[in-house]
């Protein structure tokens, strides 16, 4: 019995940090409508700076002074980030904000390794809380008790701050109607900055307070951000009380999950989240609300099928691409195959994201499932390659059918977070279920049959499949199904009012996109000869998002160009520098801020401007359709 009580208390202690970080995220989202992916990075920097201050300068400020100082320093960094980066993108679609803050996260991951090195750092214990308290023969660290008390105290302080101060009243008002607050003479800019500073302070404090409990390392950001997403989704974005309750719930699930279901402990939390989202899509303490801003799609130029000249040009490009083996060496062909595979992957996400308006942050799950499908069929069932290629992607299809059913019940940021969480579930299974998936060691020795073994043959295979996928998806965009899907994207209510079963259409699109990604994953498994959990990891999901954005999210075929440019750049970059994440993160932020329409979108805009300036034509048709927001 005592053991369970102690386990319960440990869970409560873990909840404290989680609550701090989650409440910060929630507060920032409430006012700015930005889901701050970099919140985990701020948490991590908080821990690193606190480590340095307590180790090196503890004489000057003392332990507790160092902790608070670290959090303040990170809050200052947050203010700079808000003023330099976020202020430029408040009016962009929410997807761009998630991506920009993700780019920031990537940069921070490389930067902390540069500054503090790759090794785990073990911080010192908190003075006054070094010992443990005996509880019927079980030890409870006294620092845990301190954290257990701290959680409700912070909750109380936040409550007072929001209910009893003018700042709190303004923040709550802005959460509901930002423009009206400005129309009453309040400077939104500084309100946003201060809110962001408070949110980041809480995240950094959460990180700093972890150093007596856990080692500081450079991957703690992703671990916490996924948990925090789960917490705010369960508790309800924007609700501080919800963040507290959900943090306790998630921490206790973790604490007892390990005891009761050690094999599926990671999944347990996500299962609870899925259940909550289905019953109350806006979370336990959240409020249902209309989407603040539309995902990409509202500002698109009207799409049209290719003209016959453009078809010929595309065919010519394909023929030229097919001639690559005549003059390129094996390495170039392998790179070419990889690019073709990523074109398939990017095009599949584009279909979901641009055509369907559903921005998935976990699309790699279906890519990886396709790859694992191959691994199971080829290694365990021993089936020949052609059969594997036909059946393997079905695992991606199956995963997309199951997860997609739940995901399409939501939209906007909730959709993004749920797909991310689902991808993490799949990743955890691949990582934890060692007996079947080989865990971190993956599954090795998947080689193509002899007919596709040579680099040039494999290249032709990949290129051919990519071409077929592109043609099929493009045809679908201009089919009645595509029209219906675009209708659900542009206005869910209106499409339902004319008799479209929106959820079913979106679900179908999700399954199509997942299956297509699975085809890419299947080819990828054969290209690499192996499958690893990373094939369904977050960074791969984000790669796909960047490819689509880089090409131009509002175009029909930007994803193809985006995939080619990004993948080529990526392969080149990794061969040139150790700091690829730093460069890549900066690159992502640059796209979002400077080229929000992507490469193809830019070209289209330029072409249109030229067209508009020469013949008078019909001005109404030439103008982009914009929303009167």
Q: In terms of CB distance, is 182 or 322 closer to other proteins?
A: 182
3-state SS assignment for residue 159: helix
Is residue 181 near other proteins by the rule CB under 8 A? yes
Q: What are phi and psi of 301, to 5 degrees?
A: -70, 150
Interacting positions 561-620 with other proteins (CB under 8 A): 620
Pair type for strands 443-444 and 530-531: antiparallel
The C-alpha torsion from 467 through 470 and 472 to 476, rounded to 10°, is -170
Distance between the two ends of the chain, CA-based, in angstroms?
Answer: 59
Q: In terms of CB distance, is 55 or 177 closer to other proteins?
A: 177
Q: Give the contact letters, 140-179, x = binds to other proteins (CB under 8 A), - = no.
A: --------------------------x--xx-xx-xxx-x
Interacting positions 251-280 with other proteins (CB under 8 A): none
| Residue 163: CB minimum distance to other proteins, A | 9
Q: In terms of CB distance, is 614 or 626 closer to other proteins?
A: 626
Q: In terms of CB distance, is 182 or 383 closer to other proteins?
A: 182
The C-alpha torsion from 486 through 492 and 495 to 499, rounded to 10°, is 130
| Residue 618: CB minimum distance to other proteins, A | 12
Is residue 83 near other proteins by the rule CB under 8 A? no
Q: Annotate 476-524 with three-state secondary structure.
A: HHCCHHHHHHHHHHHCHHHHHHCCCCHHHHHHHHHHHHHHHHHHHHHHH
| Residue 173: CB minimum distance to other proteins, A | 5
Which of these segments, 180-188, 258-266, 418-426, 511-519, binds other proteins (CB under 8 A)?
Answer: 180-188
Residues 6+ apart with CB under 8 A from 25: 35, 36, 39, 199, 203, 228, 232, 243
Cα angle 436, 429, 101; round to 5: 145
| Residue 182: CB minimum distance to other proteins, A | 4
What is the number of other CB atoms lying within 10 angstroms of the CB of residue 453?
12
Q: In terms of CB distance, is 167 or 481 closer to other proteins?
A: 167
Q: In terms of CB distance, is 188 or 608 closer to other proteins?
A: 188
Among 58, 138, 142, 188, binds other proteins (CB under 8 A): 188
Q: Annotate 31-65 with three-state secondary structure.
A: HHCCCCCCHHHHHHHHHHHHHHHHHHCHHHHHHHH
Residue 408 structure tokens: 């399409």
| Residue 592: CB minimum distance to other proteins, A | 20
Among 118, 136, 183, 262, binds other proteins (CB under 8 A): 183
Among 290, 319, 320, 628, binds other proteins (CB under 8 A): 628
| Residue 192: CB minimum distance to other proteins, A | 12
Q: In terms of CB distance, is 127 or 624 closer to other proteins?
A: 624
| Residue 431: CB minimum distance to other proteins, A | 42
Number of residues that bind other proteins (CB under 8 A): 25
Q: In terms of CB distance, is 617 or 624 closer to other proteins?
A: 624
Beta carbons of 519 and 465 less than 8 angstroms apart: yes
Among 149, 153, 184, 390, binds other proteins (CB under 8 A): 184
Among 180, 219, 315, 590, binds other proteins (CB under 8 A): 180
Is residue 627 near other proteins by the rule CB under 8 A? yes
Cα–Cα dist 96/83, whole Å? 16
Cα–Cα dist 277/284, whole Å? 9
Ramachandran quadrant class, 617 (left: phi over 0; alpha: psi -120 to 50; beta: rest): left
Cα–Cα dist 479/98, whole Å? 31
Pair type for strands 138-141 and 132-135: antiparallel
Q: In terms of CB distance, is 504 or 623 closer to other proteins?
A: 623
Q: In terms of CB distance, is 187 or 577 closer to other proteins?
A: 187
Among 185, 262, 480, 616, binds other proteins (CB under 8 A): 185
| Residue 165: CB minimum distance to other proteins, A | 10
Q: In terms of CB distance, is 182 or 328 closer to other proteins?
A: 182
Residues 6+ apart with CB under 8 A from 592: 89, 92, 96, 99, 100, 103, 549
Is residue 186 near other proteins by the rule CB under 8 A? yes
| Residue 296: CB minimum distance to other proteins, A | 16
Cα–Cα dist 310/556, whole Å? 13
Is residue 493 near other proteins by the rule CB under 8 A? no
Cα–Cα dist 371/388, whole Å? 10
| Residue 166: CB minimum distance to other proteins, A | 6
Q: In terms of CB distance, is 320 or 620 closer to other proteins?
A: 620
| Residue 299: CB minimum distance to other proteins, A | 9
Half-sphere exposure of 294 (CA within 13 A, CB side): 19
| Residue 120: CB minimum distance to other proteins, A | 44
Residues at the contact surface with other proteins, assessed by CB under 8 A = 166, 169-170, 172-173, 175-177, 179-188, 620, 623-628
């Amino acid at each position: 019995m005592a053991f369970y009580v102690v386990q319960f208390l440990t869970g409560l202690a873990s909840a404290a940090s989680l609550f701090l970080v989650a409440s910060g995220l929630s507060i920032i989202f409430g006012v700015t409508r930005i889901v701050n992916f970099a919140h985990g990075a701020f948490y991590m920097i908080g821990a690193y700076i606190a480590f340095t201050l307590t180790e090196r300068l503890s004489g000057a400020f003392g332990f507790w002074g160092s902790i608070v100082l670290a959090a303040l320093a990170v809050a200052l960094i947050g203010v700079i980030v808000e003023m330099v980066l976020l202020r430029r993108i408040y009016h962009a679609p929410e997807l761009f904000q998630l991506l920009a803050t993700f780019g920031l996260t990537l940069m921070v991951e490389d930067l902390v390794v540069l500054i503090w090195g790759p090794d785990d750092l073990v911080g010192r214990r908190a003075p006054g809380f070094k010992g443990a308290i005996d509880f019927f023969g079980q030890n409870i660290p006294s620092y845990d008790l301190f954290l257990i008390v701290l959680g409700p105290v912070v909750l109380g302080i936040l409550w007072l701050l929001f209910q009893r101060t003018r700042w709190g009243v303004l923040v709550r008002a802005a959460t509901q109607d930002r423009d009206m607050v400005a129309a009453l003479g309040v400077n939104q800019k500084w309100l946003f900055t201060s809110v962001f500073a408070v949110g980041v302070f809480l995240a950094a404090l959460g990180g700093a307070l972890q150093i007596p409990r856990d080692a500081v390392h450079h991957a703690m950001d992703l671990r916490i951000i996924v948990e925090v997403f789960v917490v705010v989704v369960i508790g309800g974005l924007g609700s501080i009380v919800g963040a507290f309750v959900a943090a306790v719930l998630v921490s206790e699930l973790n604490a007892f999950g390990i005891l009761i279901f050690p094999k599926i402990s990671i999944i347990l939390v996500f299962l609870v989240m899925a259940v909550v989202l289905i019953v109350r899509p806006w979370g336990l303490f959240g409020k249902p609300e209309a989407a603040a801003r539309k995902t990409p799609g509202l500002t698109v130029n009207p799409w049209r099928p290719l003209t016959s000249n453009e078809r010929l040009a595309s065919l010519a490009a394909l023929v030229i691409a097919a001639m690559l083996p005549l003059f390129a060496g094996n390495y170039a062909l392998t790179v070419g195959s990889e690019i073709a595979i990523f074109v398939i992957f990017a095009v599949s996400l584009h279909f979901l994201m641009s055509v369907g308006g559903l921005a998935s942050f976990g699309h790699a799950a279906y890519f990886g499932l396709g790859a694992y499908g191959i691994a199971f069929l080829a290694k365990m069932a021993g089936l020949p390659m052609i059969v594997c290629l036909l059946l393997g992607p079905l695992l991606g299809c199956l995963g997309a059918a199951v997860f997609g059913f739940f995901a399409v019940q939501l939209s906007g940021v909730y959709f993004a977070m749920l797909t991310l969480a689902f991808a993490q579930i799949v990743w955890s299974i691949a990582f934890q279920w060692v007996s079947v998936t080989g865990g971190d060691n993956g599954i090795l020795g998947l080689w193509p049959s002899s007919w596709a073994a040579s680099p040039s043959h494999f290249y032709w295979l990949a290129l051919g499949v990519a071409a077929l996928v592109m043609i099929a998806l493009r045809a679908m965009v201009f089919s009645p199904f595509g029209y219906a899907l675009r209708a659900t994207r542009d206005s869910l209510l209106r499409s339902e009012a004319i008799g479209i079963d929106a959820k079913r259409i979106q679900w179908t699109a999700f399954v199509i996109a997942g299956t297509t990604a699975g085809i890419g994953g299947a080819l990828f498994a054969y290209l690499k000869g192996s499958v690893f959990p990373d094939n369904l990891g977050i960074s791969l999901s984000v790669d796909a998002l960047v490819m689509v954005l880089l090409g131009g999210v509002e175009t029909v075929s930007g994803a193809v160009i985006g995939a080619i440019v990004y993948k080529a750049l990526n392969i080149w970059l990794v061969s040139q520098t150790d700091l690829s994440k730093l460069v890549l993160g900066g690159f992502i932020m640059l796209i979002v801020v400077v080229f929000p329409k992507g490469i193809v979108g830019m070209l289209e805009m330029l072409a249109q401007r030229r067209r508009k300036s020469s013949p008078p034509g019909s001005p109404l048709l030439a103008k982009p359709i914009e929303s009167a927001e």
